[in-house]
Structure formats: structure tokens, C-alpha cells
């Protein structure tokens, strides 16, 4: 049964989320307001709790800070091939930003794969991806500069990711950004993953700031939906191949890389 508590999880497939945001932005926002008003105190606290007046910036991780999406794609495709399923690149990128267990559940359901294999599939994908990223992952353009930029301006900084905390810790050390981070939050053990906003709301609470005071950087459609559902400002940096798509219109700003962000862009967001 769908209730106010689980509507973000049960509202539908990835394709349904795409339709909602791409075609029905005004309706989506109205529904979101209704959801917030009826949400239990657990979520209301995450939306409104704030004892400090502070500015914060929250970064997604995979595909934004580190070029890891190809390795997640490889791991996922390799796993599905064990079931004689050949996932296209377009299919894969429609589901980026999802937590691994939700990614597996989505495609197992889509291809009608027996769910008894799901748990081992999740573990297999995560282990393969972490191994590949730890060995071969490299920073995306502009990573050192943007952390230095926000540090000089006194912003609190955090990572909010769908990936396991184990991988987030590896990436923070690999990219030498741990010293900048006030916290790292993973959706791994939260009730919901992106496109539900829980990981972003939880991150804002840990930072001690209101969601509306946060600027978030994302590269995936599901991540963008999560940010906007949390009532945060969103800077989206899509893949070059999908940069032109209208679905990114829900974001507050669209850039080609982190390296393009500077004083002018910050001032535009702060207006």
C-alpha cells in the first residue's frame, strides 16, 4: 500500500521518475509540498531543523568527483551477463544514482530475473566496482580547485552518495579531499536511496544547516531529483552526451564540469 511515508519509493520505476520531472515539474513540486506537510516528524526534522545560520555545499561522488561510473557500469554489465542479459549504455545511464540494491532490484524486475539471486548480485557488483575504482579511478576535472574555492569562503562541505561508505572513504583519501570534508553520508544504510531525498536531508542535518541553505552538485538525473525534493539548490554536471537534454531543466544551474564553477556562478546561486 502506498502511503505518505513511502510514496517516494513506490511512486514508480526510474522511467516514471523521468516522466514526472521531465513533463510535470509544476505538478511534482505541488505534490512534494503536500508530502512535506504530511510527513512524519522523522522527515520534518530533516527538512526544518537548523540551529545555525551557515552555508554548506554537498557533493555527489560517483561521476562527479571521481570518474567511477565506467567501473560501476562494467561491474553491473558483467553481473547481468551471468544471466544472459545485455544491458545497453542508454539503459545503464537511465539508472545511475540509484543505490546498488535498488539498481539490482530495478533491473531484476525489468528483465524478470529470479530475486533469490539479488543479494549475491549486489555484493558482487559492489566488490567488483570498489576494486576497479580503487585501482584505476581518477579525479574529475576541477576537483582540487572547487574544494579550495569553497574552503576559502568558509563553506561547510560534505559528500552525499548512494555508494557504500567503504568506497566513499577510499575516494576521499585517493583524491586528497578528506581534510575539506565535515562529513561523508552514504545512503547505504538509510531506508531510501536516491531519487528519494533522504541522503541529502540526513547530510544537511549532520552539517547542522537547513536544506534550503545547501548548494549541491550532481551528475545524475536521479540525484538531481533527490536534491530538488530536499529543497536544495542544484548544480548539475551531466555527461557530455546527455548535456543537451531538456530533463536537466529542473536544476538551478547546468555546467560542463566542476572547473567552470567560480565566483560568478556562486553569486548567481546566492541571489
Interval 187-231: pLDDT, tens: 999 999 999 999 999 999 999 999 999 999 999 999 999 999 999
Domain-wise residue ranges, the chain: 13-66+139-270, 69-136
Cell numbers at residue 16, please? 516514471
Q: What is the reported pLDDT for 25?
A: 46
Q: What is the reported pLDDT for 167?
A: 96
Catalytic residue numbers read 60, 62
170 has pLDDT over 90: yes
Domain spanning 13-66+139-270: CATH 1.10.940.10: no
Interval 65-110: pLDDT, tens: 999 999 999 999 999 999 999 999 889 988 888 899 999 999 999 9
Mean pLDDT for the chain? 85
CA atoms within 13 A on the CB side of 219: 22
Q: 211 CB contacts (<8 Å, ≥6 apart)?
A: 46, 47, 200, 201, 204, 230, 231, 232
Q: What is the reported pLDDT for 93?
A: 87
Question: Could you tell me the pTM of the whole model?
Answer: 0.77
Amino acid at each position: 500500500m502506498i502511503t505518505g511515508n513511502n510514496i517516494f519509493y513506490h511512486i514508480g520505476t526510474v522511467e516514471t521518475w523521468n516522466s514526472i520531472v521531465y513533463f510535470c515539474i509544476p505538478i511534482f513540486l505541488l505534490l512534494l509540498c503536500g508530502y512535506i506537510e504530511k510527513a512524519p516528524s522523522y522527515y520534518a526534522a530533516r527538512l526544518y531543523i537548523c540551529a545555525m545560520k551557515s552555508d554548506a555545499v554537498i557533493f555527489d561522488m560517483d561521476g562527479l568527483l571521481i570518474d567511477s561510473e565506467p567501473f560501476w557500469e562494467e561491474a553491473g554489465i558483467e553481473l547481468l551477463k551471468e544471466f544472459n542479459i545485455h544491458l545497453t549504455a542508454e539503459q545503464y545511464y537511465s539508472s545511475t544514482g540509484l543505490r546498488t540494491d535498488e539498481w539490482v532490484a530495478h533491473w531484476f524486475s525489468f528483465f524478470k530475473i529470479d530475486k533469490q539471486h539479488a543479494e549475491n548480485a549486489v555484493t558482487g557488483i559492489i566488490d567488483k566496482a570498489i576494486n576497479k575504482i580503487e585501482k584505476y579511478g581518477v579525479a574529475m576535472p576541477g576537483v582540487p580547485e572547487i574544494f579550495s574555492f569553497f574552503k576559502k569562503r568558509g563553506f561547510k562541505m560534505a559528500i552525499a552518495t548512494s555508494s557504500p561508505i567503504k568506497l566513499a572513504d577510499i575516494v576521499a583519501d585517493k583524491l586528497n579531499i578528506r581534510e575539506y570534508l565535515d562529513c561523508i553520508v552514504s545512503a547505504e544504510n538509510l531506508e531510501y536511496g536516491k531519487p528519494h531525498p533522504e541522503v541529502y536531508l540526513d547530510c544537511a542535518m549532520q552539517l547542522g544547516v537547513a536544506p534550503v541553505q545547501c548548494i549541491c552538485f550532481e551528475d545524475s538525473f536521479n540525484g538531481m531529483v533527490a536534491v530538488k525534493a530536499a529543497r536544495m539548490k542544484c548544480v548539475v554536471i551531466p555527461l557530455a552526451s546527455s548535456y543537451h537534454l531538456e530533463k536537466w531543466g529542473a536544476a538551478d544551474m547546468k555546467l560542463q564540469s566542476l572547473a567552470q564553477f567560480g565566483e560568478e556562478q556562486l553569486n548567481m546561486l546566492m541571489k
